[in-house]
């Protein structure tokens, strides 16, 4: 068993953008790693998207995480910078959430967690979902990228010759894990045989 200091807490936030499968697969992979504790926040629209896209009961989805917090719970430990979570990811991340984070509008726990990442210089990864992008989207993402936020649209790579939709999903999940500094074998690395 790992000691408390060896355990990383990763906050996984889910918004209402399409792509709930990425969050599900990410949580499933993180659950396999004994050195990771997950704290989950799902927006109201995220709950609707999970039910619609995954045909999954939200309580079954919650079971994929170690801790679950309501998006309005500003008394959650992760709502404070004094709580030492390691990193956060919004997967999928709506443009509404990008705008809230880029403009410091922390009106829910998801935006507050991101605000903490920015002010405490913690890793923040946004799996942005929108196409095409307008100038406002690009300006908000540019502002965040300049602050060190990883902006990662779920773009598939075809050099790995994916054969199924799961292959495409796992490529993105593997890249998310790479950016969260979690070892994984989900990604066929360029140059690997």
Largest CA-CA distance found in the chain, in angstroms, rounded: 49
pLDDT at 3 over 70: no
pLDDT at 145 over 90: yes
pLDDT in tens, 100-140: 999 999 999 999 999 999 999 999 999 999 999 999 999 99
Give a yes or no: residue 19 inside a domain. Answer: yes
For position 159, what pLDDT does the model report?
86
Mean pLDDT to the nearest integer, 128-157: 97
CB distance 95 to 141 below 8 Å: no
Mean pLDDT to the nearest integer, 175-188: 92
Give a yes or no: residue 188 inside a domain. Answer: no
Give a yes or no: residue 25 inside a domain. Answer: yes
* Residue 19 confidence class, pLDDT cut points 50, 70, 90: very high
> Cα angle vertex 121, ends 107, 5, to 5°?
105
pLDDT at 6 over 70: yes
Give a yes or no: residue 166 inside a domain. Answer: yes
Domain count, the chain: 1
Range of the domain at 82: 4-179
For position 2, what pLDDT does the model report?
53
Residue 76 to residue 70: CA distance in whole angstroms = 8
- Per the prediction, the chain carries an average pLDDT of 95
Give a yes or no: residue 185 inside a domain. Answer: no
Query: Which residues define the annotated binding site for FMN?
Result: 16-18, 43, 94-97, 129
Give a yes or no: residue 187 inside a domain. Answer: no
Give a yes or no: residue 112 inside a domain. Answer: yes
Query: Which residues define the annotated binding site for dimethylallyl phosphate?
Result: 159, 175
Q: What is the 3-class SS of the chain, one letter each residue?
A: CCCHHHCEEEEEEECCCCCHHHHHHHHHHHHCCCCEEEEEEECHHHHHHHHHHHCCCHHHHHCCCCEEEECCCCCCHHHCCCCCCCEEEEEEECHHHHHHHHCCCCCCHHHHHHHHHHHHCCEEEEEECCCCCCHHHHHHHHHHHHCCCEECCCCCCCCCCCCCHHHHHHHHHHHHHHHCCCCCCCCCCCCCC
Mean pLDDT to the nearest integer, 150-171: 94
Give a yes or no: residue 190 inside a domain. Answer: no
For position 1, what pLDDT does the model report?
46
pLDDT in tens, 27-51: 999 999 999 999 999 999 999 999 9
How many of the other CB atoms lie within 10 Å of CB of 19?
22
pLDDT > 90: percent of the chain:
90
For position 193, what pLDDT does the model report?
62
Q: Assign residue 129 the CATH number of its domain.
A: 3.40.50.1950
Q: What is the pTM of this model?
A: 0.95
pLDDT at 61 over 80: yes
Query: Which residues define the annotated binding site?
Result: 16-18, 43, 94-97, 129, 159, 175
């Amino acid at each position: 068993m790992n000691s408390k200091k060896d355990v990383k807490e990763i906050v996984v936030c889910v918004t209402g953008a399409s792509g709930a499968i990425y969050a599900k697969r990410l949580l499933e992979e993180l659950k396999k790693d004994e050195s990771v504790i997950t704290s989950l926040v799902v927006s109201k629209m995220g709950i609707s998207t999970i039910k619609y896209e995954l045909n999954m009961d939200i309580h079954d989805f919650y079971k994929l995480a170690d801790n679950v917090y309501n998006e309005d719970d500003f008394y959650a430990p992760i709502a404070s910078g004094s709580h030492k979570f390691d990193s956060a990811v919004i997967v999928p991340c709506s443009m509404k959430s990008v705008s809230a984070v880029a403009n410091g509008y922390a009106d829910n726990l998801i935006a507050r967690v991101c605000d903490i990442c920015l002010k405490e210089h913690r890793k923040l990864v946004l799996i942005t979902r929108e196409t095409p992008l307008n100038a406002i989207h690009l300006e908000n993402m540019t502002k965040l990228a300049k602050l060190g936020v990883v902006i990662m649209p779920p773009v598939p790579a075809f050099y790995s010759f994916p054969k199924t939709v799961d292959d495409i999903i796992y490529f993105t999940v593997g890249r998310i894990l790479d950016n969260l500094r979690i070892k994984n074998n989900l990604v066929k690395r360029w140059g690997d045989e």
